[in-house]
Amino acid sequence: MPARESVALVAIPLLLAVIIWLPPWGLLVGVGAAALLAGDELLTMARHRGAPCGRGVPLILLAVALAAAWTGGSRWLLVALAAAILVVPTLQLLAPNRPDGALAGAAIALFTVAYIGLGAACLGWLRQWPPDPWGERFILLFLATIWAGDSGAYYVGKGFGRHKMSPRISPNKTWEGLTGGIVTSFAAAALARTAFGLDLAWSHTFAVAAILAVAAPVGDLIESALKRDTRVKDSSALLPGHGGFLDRTDSLFYSAPLVLAYLLLVGVIR
């Protein structure tokens, strides 16, 4: 069995078990660990390109931001991010080679904390804020829709892709693959709503599917652009056939704030 399918065969049932059998904190622990690994990979990619960015301080600040978000809500996430904006450039003064690289190092560290921190925090809130069993069932729909869209885009693009969507950023992505991903995203959302007994109006179900069908590929393209810039193929080799944790969470972290914003705006989540 190819490595891509083998990893998925182990990881997906494990994640489903965490969501179904553990309270919300179980998924928060997993999301936090994945965010820290993804952040470490992003910082490593930047260093690979020669950027003078540290490792420990950004990851500590990311962990603090997520802990603040999940224990205190959105207000405390903003406080943690504001603190990071002050802490990072201040600590740049302690580096022996400063001022050389001070701007690049601070910018990369803050981007890592803010970009991954916001996405991971919102993904956790999608599980944490709604009462069970709604929150549990919705996060299953969220993940199933993204996974199905990603798989649909991959296999349709691999089998039928002819027209490149963004050849300079991600030469393997095609418009045919994107179409396959959109179709499978809507199909997966409809199937998940029915299979999991989720009490969500069909109009909202398809609105979420539409957001994910667009946002997930955009998140993936953003990470592809970062990889192109830093001259790496995968963010790491931790997940055979998939790359690293940043490769697997890019679409999740990018999509979560948009879906959460929609659910709050329409009053599904209060």
Ordered by start, the domain boundaries in the chain are 3-265
Question: For residue 249, what pLDDT band results from cuts at 50, 70 and 90?
Answer: very high
Question: For residue 2, what pLDDT band results from cuts at 50, 70 and 90?
Answer: low
Measure Cα distances from 105 to 55, 58, 64, 110, 164 in Å. Answer: 10, 10, 20, 9, 34
User: How many H-runs (helices) and E-runs (strands) does the chain carry?
Assistant: 10, 2
Asked if residue 1 has pLDDT above 60, the reply is no
Average pLDDT over residues 104-130: 95
Question: For residue 135, what pLDDT band results from cuts at 50, 70 and 90?
Answer: very high
Closest CA to 106 of 45, 40, 46: 46
The pTM of this model reads 0.92
Vertex 66 angle, CA 124 and 209, to 5°: 30
Buried residues in 198-237 as b, exposed as e (16+ CB within 10 A):
bebeeebbbbbbebbbbbbbebbbebbebbeebebebbbe
